[in-house]
């Protein structure tokens, strides 16, 4: 294992970098902070023995960025077009190193070996390892960097080299992760004192008055959770003042667009059933013979609990049940359920105690995720980079307080482009929407 510390080593390293496939582990200066509020300490890089997708490795390198014992050597990492397996691709993308052809090997481990401890808590595992050895967690000098490198070498030997990982594009790798990376880069502005009072252990996550959220796509359906530093940004309490902590930047207000009865309408698309342009929940309430709130609760129970004989009297749910039963028979034959946009295959073995309703629910959440990511990509392609939070059926934007309504109309048109109507709300903090 070598550390790139001299110009001679730099040239040798670049020769490998430009001609060989490799594995990359990025390690940040602070293992607990978000990459966007952090600095890279080093990259651990293991090169392949040949240019094919299989084979052993012949050289391990440490490429330092924060190194007390030598001057940082400027190295252009955009020059290589060789395949790279990357741990935490989303975080490394945020470092603006312009590395090409990165593949997140966590995805492959999750989909094929989802019990591997590598994915359970990589950073925590490394920290615990050092604690047991009594070594100081210091990422700045040669001795510490080499010690960390030896641990990463062991992780690579145990978990990476022993499993075949395909260098193939996938919807999650090629579209989901880059899209979530761009959303995270916007950050959320907070009232600093209120934030610290509410989450004192998360104070180190502040960069002035900005915090960065972190979307986790490593779930069976790839529906991302969103928590970082002990704060669950995907489920902030609506009733205890917590949301007042989230505020827009200067001269901005919040614009939020929520889908109306999102899952009901996604199901409508799946079963080719035309729903009304007006409120779907009110439409169902009229059929149930109850009020709006009771209708939402009853619909949720049907969608996730199953369609009863009584429910089948409503034509919509009769067709839903028919779809679920037909779909499940096909899935039992195939051994997996396939998502409509990303063509991702979710094996039945990943759905514990599966039945028709449960498989349908997994498919529904996966479909929701794919639709949302495609919508966010459309926003980015249109040059709209002001969305600061995405939470399943709602999109939160910072909007110019003195601007025209043209951008708001454009945002609404894009979010409704798959045929799902939204309702818009405005506010001066996240609780006033």
- The class that CATH gives domain 2-167 is alpha beta
- Please tell me the predicted confidence (pLDDT) of residue 135: 45
* Contacts of 26-31 spanning 24+ positions with Cβ under 8 A: 26/86, 26/87, 26/88, 26/91, 26/92, 26/95, 27/139, 27/148, 27/152, 28/91, 29/66, 29/139, 29/140, 30/204, 31/123, 31/126, 31/127, 31/137
CB atoms within 10 A of CB 209: 14
- Delimit the domains of the chain by residue range: 2-167, 169-433
pLDDT attached to residue 345: 87
Round to whole Å and give the CA distance between 244 and 318: 43
Q: What is the pLDDT of residue 307?
A: 95
Is the pTM higher than 0.85? yes
- For residue 173, CA distances in Å to 123, 134, 166, 346, 362 come to 21, 37, 12, 16, 20
- The tally of CA atoms less than 13 A away on the side-chain side of residue 193 is 0
For residue 111, what pLDDT is reported? 54
CA distances (Å), origin 429, targets 197, 214, 249, 288: 18, 21, 10, 36
Cα-to-chain-centroid distance, residue 387: 15
3-state secondary structure of 75: coil
Distances from the Cα of 22 to the Cα of 116, 176, 251, 380, angstroms: 21, 23, 46, 30
Provide the 10 A C-beta neighbour count for residue 278.
10
Asked if 110 and 218 touch (Cβ cutoff 8 Å), the reply is: yes
Q: What is the pLDDT along the chain (433 residues), one digit of tens a residue?
A: 888 988 999 999 999 999 988 889 998 888 789 999 998 888 999 986 554 455 555 688 999 887 777 777 889 999 999 989 888 899 999 998 999 999 887 776 555 544 444 444 455 555 565 555 444 445 666 777 777 777 777 777 766 655 555 556 588 889 999 999 999 999 999 999 999 999 999 999 999 999 999 999 888 888 999 999 999 999 999 889 999 999 999 999 999 999 999 999 999 999 999 999 899 999 999 999 999 999 999 999 999 999 999 999 999 999 999 999 999 999 999 999 999 999 988 889 889 899 999 999 999 999 999 999 999 999 999 999 999 999 999 999 999 987 678 889 999 999 999 999 999 999 999 999 9
Axis crossing angle, helix 356-381 with helix 292-305, rounded to the nearest 10: 110
Q: What are 45's two structure tokens? A: 């890089």
Supply the CATH classification number for the domain 169-433.
3.30.70.370
For residue 67, the model assigns a pLDDT of 78
């Amino acid at each position: 294992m070598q550390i790139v510390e001299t110009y001679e080593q730099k040239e040798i390293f670049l020769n490998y970098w430009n001609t060989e496939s490799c594995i990359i582990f990025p390690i940040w200066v602070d293992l607990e902070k978000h990459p966007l509020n952090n600095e890279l300490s080093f990259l651990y890089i293991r090169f392949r023995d040949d240019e094919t997708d299989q084979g052993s490795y012949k050289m391990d390198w440490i490429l330092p960025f924060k190194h007390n014992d030598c001057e940082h050597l400027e190295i252009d990492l955009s020059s290589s077009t060789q395949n790279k397996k990357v741990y935490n691709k989303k975080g490394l993308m945020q470092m603006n190193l312009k590395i090409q052809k990165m593949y997140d090997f966590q995805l492959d481990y999750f989909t094929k070996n989802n019990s591997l401890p590598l994915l359970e808590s990589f950073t925590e595992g490394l920290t615990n390892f050092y604690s047991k050895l009594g070594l100081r967690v210091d990422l700045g000098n040669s001795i510490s960097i080499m010690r960390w490198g030896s641990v990463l070498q062991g992780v690579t030997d145990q978990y990476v080299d022993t499993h075949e990982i395909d260098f193939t594009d996938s919807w999650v790798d090629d579209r989901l992760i880059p899209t979530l990376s761009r959303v995270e880069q916007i950050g959320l502005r907070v009232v600093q004192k209120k934030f610290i009072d509410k989450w004192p252990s998360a104070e180190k996550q502040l960069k002035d008055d900005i915090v960065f959220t972190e979307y986790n796509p490593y779930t069976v359906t790839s529906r991302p959770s969103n928590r970082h530093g002990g704060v669950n940004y995907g489920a902030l309490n609506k009733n205890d003042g917590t949301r007042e902590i989230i505020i827009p930047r200067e001269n901005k207000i919040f614009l939020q667009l929520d889908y109306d009865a999102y899952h009901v309408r996604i199901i409508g698309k799946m079963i080719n059933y035309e729903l009304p342009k007006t409120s779907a929940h009110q439409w169902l309430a009229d059929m149930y013979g109850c009020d709006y709130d009771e209708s939402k609760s009853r619909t949720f129970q049907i969608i996730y609990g199953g369609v009863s004989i009584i429910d089948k009297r409503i034509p919509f749910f009769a067709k839903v049940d028919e779809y679920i039963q037909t779909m499940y028979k096909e899935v039992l034959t195939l051994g997996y359920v396939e998502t409509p946009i990303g063509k991702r295959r979710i094996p039945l073995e990943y759905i514990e105690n599966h039945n028709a309703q449960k498989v349908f629910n997994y498919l529904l959440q996966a479909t929701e995720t794919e639709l949302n990511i495609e919508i966010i990509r459309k926003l980015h392609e249109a040059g709209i980079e002001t969305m600061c939070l995405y939470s399943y059926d709602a999109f939160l934007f910072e909007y110019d307080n003195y601007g025209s309504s043209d951008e708001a109309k454009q945002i609404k048109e894009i979010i409704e482009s798959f045929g799902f109507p939204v309702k818009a709300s405005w506010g001066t903090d996240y609780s006033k929407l």
